[in-house]
């Protein structure tokens, strides 16, 4: 069964305190792994696509990496405006787009 | 401006009623998706469609129905058979293909009164 698991469920950081979010997956025929940011009451906003193990993508303070079994979203020197829920999703061979339960990030000033 | 529009933003339903949530996109995307999100949780797939006049059940399709008569539109009906419909509903669309990202609407919050 295709499955996506994110950890931790919630993460509290001080401004400037770097950390990583984890997304582990089991899927038949990975067609892509995606990271999204979601603010309360809004639709998810696309951040990154990763296609194959070893790939990395960066955007401002965020860096996403991919292995054969998991992906990490590294947050370097976060700011309060980085507070949001971060969602990981995979596209399977069946074209289903499957999401994890998300990590709620709170960055305190 | 290209985008994906969900309406209404807020919807109230009496018990026993069917309600339909609208999702329209002008991005020329073939694939469209409906998700349900409960407080503090991730997105669960209700239905998805790769092409007009074809759609597949997701993980929680019971109590929901969809149609895909036009490329631009993918309405979701929440039927009276859905016992716990109060949730945040999200529609997404994407180009059919390997690793292409999905774009989301701003959601409809449905409340049973």
Scan for tokens 């951040």, then name that residue: A47
A99 contacts B44? CB cut-off 8 A = yes
**Are the C-beta atoms of residues B11 and B20 closer than 8 Å to each other?**
no
Looking at the predicted structure, is the pLDDT value of residue B76 above 70?
yes
pLDDT tens column, A39-73: 999 999 999 999 999 999 999 999 999 999 999 99
Phi, psi of B112 (to 5 degrees): -90, 130
* DSSP states of B33-80: EEEEE-TT--EEEEEEEEETTEEEE-TT-TTEEE--SBTTB--EEE-T
Q: How far apart are CA A64 and CA A36, in angstroms?
A: 11
Taken as a whole, chain B contains a residue count of: 113
Is residue A45 within 8 angstroms of chain B, CB to CB? yes
Scan for tokens 């069917």, then name that residue: B18
Give the number of other Cβ atoms within 10 Å of residue A73's Cβ. 23
> Band of the pLDDT at B100, cuts 50, 70, 90?
confident
Is residue B39 within 8 angstroms of chain A, CB to CB? no
Is residue B102 within 8 angstroms of chain A, CB to CB? yes
| Closest-CA distance of chain B to residue A45, Å | 7
Looking at the predicted structure, is the pLDDT value of residue A93 above 90?
no
**Are the C-beta atoms of residues A86 and A56 closer than 8 Å to each other?**
no
Give me the residues paired with residue A26 across strands: A3
Looking at the predicted structure, is the pLDDT value of residue A17 above 70?
yes
Looking at the predicted structure, is the pLDDT value of residue A24 above 90?
yes
pLDDT at A62: 98
pLDDT tens column, B27-71: 999 999 999 999 878 899 999 999 999 999 999 999 999 999 999
Enumerate the residues of chain B whose CB falls inside 8 A of the CB of residue A55: none
Scan for tokens 């292409």, then name that residue: B100
Give me the residues paired with residue B104 across strands: B92
Looking at the predicted structure, is the pLDDT value of residue B1 above 70?
no
Mean pLDDT of A9-26: 97
| Closest-CA distance of chain B to residue A76, Å | 24
pLDDT tens column, B2-20: 799 999 999 998 988 999 9
**Are the C-beta atoms of residues A61 and A77 closer than 8 Å to each other?**
yes
Query: Quick one: tokens of B12?
Result: 């109230």
B31 contacts A32? CB cut-off 8 A = no
| Closest-CA distance of chain B to residue A52, Å | 10
Is residue A35 within 8 angstroms of chain B, CB to CB? no
Is residue A104 within 8 angstroms of chain B, CB to CB? yes
pLDDT at B91: 98
């Amino acid at each position: 069964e295709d499955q996506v698991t994110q950890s931790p469920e919630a993460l509290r950081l001080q401004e400037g305190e770097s950390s990583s979010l984890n997304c582990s997956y089991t899927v038949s025929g990975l067609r892509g792994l995606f990271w999204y940011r979601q603010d309360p009451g809004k639709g998810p906003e696309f951040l990154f696509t990763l296609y194959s193990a070893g790939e990395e993508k960066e955007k401002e303070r965020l860096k996403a990496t991919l292995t054969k079994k998991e992906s990490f979203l590294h947050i370097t020197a976060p700011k309060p405006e980085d507070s949001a829920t971060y969602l990981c999703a995979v596209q399977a061979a069946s074209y289903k787009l499957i999401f994890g339960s998300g990590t709620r990030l709170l960055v305190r000033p | 401006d290209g985008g994906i529009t969900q309406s209404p933003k807020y919807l109230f339903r009496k018990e026993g009623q069917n309600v339909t949530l609208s999702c329209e996109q002008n991005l020329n995307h073939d694939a469209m998706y409906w998700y349900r999100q409960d407080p503090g949780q991730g997105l669960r797939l209700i239905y998805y469609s790769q092409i007009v006049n074809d759609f597949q059940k997701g993980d929680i399709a019971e109590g929901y129905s969809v149609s895909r008569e036009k490329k631009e539109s993918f309405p979701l009906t929440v039927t009276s058979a859905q016992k716990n419909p109060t949730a945040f509903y999200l529609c997404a669309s994407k180009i059919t293909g390997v690793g292409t990202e999905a774009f989301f609407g701003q959601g409809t919050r449905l409340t049973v009164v």
